Amino acid sequence: MSKILLKDFVNECNVRFGTSGVRAKVEELTDKVVFVYTLGFIQFLKTKFPDYDLNSIMIAGDLRPSTPHIKQIVRLAIESQGLVCKDAGFVPTPALTNYALKNNLPSIMITGSHIPADRNGLKFIRPDGELMKEDEEIFLSEEVEYDEKIETKINSNESDSNELQSQVIDEFKLRYTSFFDNDYLKGKKIGVYGHSAVGRDVLVDLLTEFGAEVTKLGFSNTFIPVDTEAIRKEDEELAKKWTSEFGLDAIVTTDGDSDRPMIADEKGYWFKGDVLGIFVAIDLGLEALATPISSNTGILGTEILAIMFTKIGSPYVIKAMRKLSKEYICVGAYEANGGFLLGSEIKGKNGSLSILETRDAYLPLLSILKFSIDKNLKMSELYSLIPSRVTYSSKIDNFPLEKSKLILEELKKDKSKLKDDISSVVDSIIKKVNLLDGVRLIFENEDVVHIRPSGNAPELRIYTESVSLSAAKEINMQVSKLLEK
Identify the pLDDT of residue 155: 59
Return the percentage of the chain with pLDDT > 90, whole number: 83
Strands 331-334 and 340-342: antiparallel
Q: Is 134 part of a structural domain of the chain?
A: yes
156, 32: one domain? yes
Domain count, the chain: 3
What ranges in 29-103 are assigned the alpha helix state H?
31-48, 67-80, 93-102
Whether 151 has a pLDDT exceeding 80, the answer reads: no
Per the document, the length of the chain is: 485
* Closest to 114 (Cα-Cα) out of 195, 207, 220: 195
Average pLDDT over residues 152-161: 56
Average pLDDT over residues 347-354: 88
Which of 385, 418, 451 is at the close of a domain? 385
Burial class (CB in 10 A: 0-12, 13-18, 19+), 100: buried
226, 351: one domain? yes
Please say whether the beta carbons of 296 and 450 come within 8 A: no
- Domain that includes residue 121, residue range: 2-164
- Give the CATH number, domain containing residue 259: 3.40.120.10
Which of 385, 419, 448 is at the close of a domain? 385
Per-residue pLDDT tens digits for 207-250: 999 999 999 999 999 999 998 887 889 999 999 999 999 999 99
Q: Is 175 part of a structural domain of the chain?
A: no
199, 346: one domain? yes
143, 206: one domain? no
Q: Is 456 part of a structural domain of the chain?
A: yes
pTM for the predicted model, two decimal places: 0.89
159, 297: one domain? no
Per-residue pLDDT tens digits for 322-343: 999 999 999 999 999 999 999 9
250, 332: one domain? yes
Please say whether the beta carbons of 118 and 26 come within 8 A: yes
Q: Is 115 part of a structural domain of the chain?
A: yes
Interatomic CA distance for residues 38 and 85, integer angstroms:
12
Burial class (CB in 10 A: 0-12, 13-18, 19+), 237: exposed
263, 369: one domain? yes
Whether 308 has a pLDDT exceeding 70, the answer reads: yes
Per-residue pLDDT tens digits for 362-401: 999 999 999 999 999 999 999 999 988 888 888 898 898 8
Please say whether the beta carbons of 115 and 223 come within 8 A: no
- Residue of 20, 107, 113, 394 marked active site: 113
* Closest to 225 (Cα-Cα) out of 275, 269, 260: 260
Mean pLDDT for the chain? 93
- Give the CATH number, domain containing residue 434: 3.30.310.50
Please say whether the beta carbons of 263 and 340 come within 8 A: no
Q: Coil, helix or strand for 380?
A: helix
Active site residue 113: yes
